[in-house]
Structure 1
Amino acid sequence: MASPSFGYLLVLATVLLFINPNEVGAKRTLRLYKLEKVVEKKEDLQSHLRIAEFEEGVLKVSGDLKQHVTIDNDWTIHFTISRADGHDEEYEEILDLPDLGVCDVMKTYYKEFLYNELKEYSNAPHPNTCPLPPEHYQLEDYPMDVHLLKKLLIPGYYRITSRLLHNDHIKLEYMAELEMKE
């Protein structure tokens, strides 16, 4: 997530892309072991996330983010994925994206991949809105399709971490642990 709305929605979308504990078509399944909000600096923003199974391979995602401060390109998003062959084995980092400014993300990834779908289910800000003034953002029953992800991940255990930072301080962090089974 980039801006708190985008920052939150990007973190939300990122985490949700990796979550679906049900069958993946005929052969693959994703099983979520843990989804937690690790850090939330309530003086800056507060978030709540709800996920429900809608149909096979599609989740209904709802949540809200109360942003108490203005978010600009000094706020960044950091995303990592680690993988292990076994649950108790050491995780190896397989993706570590460099910090991306919220405004930069809003004008690129958010605009290209998220906004058109999110705007139907939320009061998500327009991609040209940056800096983002304080606001209460809501997402209601967004249908997240995870079929493609199930085809892309190889079997193993994954740890996904998404962070929203300001001045190198983590303001919001979500972490998910899951398993892809063949």
Structure 2
Amino acid sequence: MGSSSGSVQHLVMLGIILLATNPFGVQAKTLSIHKLEKLVQEEDYLHSRLRIAEFQENVLKVSWDLNLRRKLDNDWMVEFKVSRSEDGDGGYERIMLFEVHLCDFMKTYYKDFFYQRIKEYSNAPRPSTCPLPKEHYRLEDYPLDVRVLKKLMTPGHYRIKYKLKNDESVILSYMAEVEVD
């Protein structure tokens, strides 16, 4: 899935990273997605559709269609930013900014954290694939277990932003607002 699976799967990486920002070991009881919004989609490059549904307690079913209309190489970057607020009133503080070139992402984070988990649910490209070819990629009913995230995240409100960009433009951007109690 390349960049598209990264969007969803970064939630798992977020949990691992937030472990370092949770010095008191407070465990969350609930994780709620209040908003999931596509902010940018450049139709000349791609068309994307993300669906998340609660499957059972602590498990979300994630499906994603990404129709990549042009090949993407290492001129493109994946940007992932996480901000946190105690009460969600707009006073968000950035706790993480992650930027990596697309091919570098494929060879490292995608290979090490995501590919093995998603390959049976998708036609995800192999980690060595870059540039990413024009293709209609699909992730179908991936069971995302949020128990790990709930154990690692400090209660509060989180704003998670994802961008696929180069020096001149952003071709895909999503934003999620998540509350952890």
Q: TM-score range by the shorter chain?
A: 0.7 to 0.9
> CA offset at residue 143 of structure 1?
0.9
Q: Which residue of 2 aligns with 1:21?
A: none
Instruction: State the 1:161 CA deviation.
Output: 0.3
Report the Cα distance in structure 2 between the residues aligned to 1:47 and 1:11, rounded to whole angstroms.
11
Query: How far apart are 1:55 and its partner, in Å?
Result: 1.7
Look up the equivalent residue of 1:117 and give its one-letter code. Answer: R
Which whole-Å deviations, capped at 9, do the CAs of 1:131-152 have from their partners, x for residues lacking one? 1110000111111111111111
Instruction: Indicate whether 1:9 and 2:10 are aligned.
Output: no
The code of the aligned residue for 2:72 comes to: I
Q: TM-score, normalised by structure 1?
A: 0.87
Instruction: Work out the CA distance in 1 between the residues paired with 2:92 and 2:133.
Output: 38
Q: Return closer, same or farther for 1:50/1:171 CA change in 2, 3 Å cut-off.
A: same
**Structure 2 contact 28–151 (Cα < 8 Å) conserved:** no
Q: In structure 2, what is the Cα distance between the partners aligned to 1:105 and 1:16?
A: 15
Return the alpha-carbon distance in structure 2 between the equivalents of residues 132 and 147 of structure 1. 32
Moved over 3 A (4+): 15-18
Question: Could you state the TM-score of these two structures normalised by the residue count of structure 2?
Answer: 0.88
How many residue pairs were aligned? 169
Q: Which residue pairs with 2:115 in the alignment?
A: 115
Residues 75-90 of structure 1: pairs in structure 2 closer than 5 A: 75-90=76-91
CA distance, structure 2, for counterparts of residue 17 and residue 53 of structure 1? 20
In the TM superposition, what is the alpha-carbon distance from 1:16 to its structure 2 partner?
A: 7.7
CA RMSD between the two structures: 1.7
Q: Secondary structure of 1:10's match?
A: helix
Give the gaps of 5 or more residues in structure 1.
19-25
Q: Which amino acid aligns with 2:126?
A: H
1:1-182 pair list within 5 angstroms: 5-14=1-10, 28-97=29-98, 99-181=99-181
Residue identity opposite 2:150 in structure 1: K
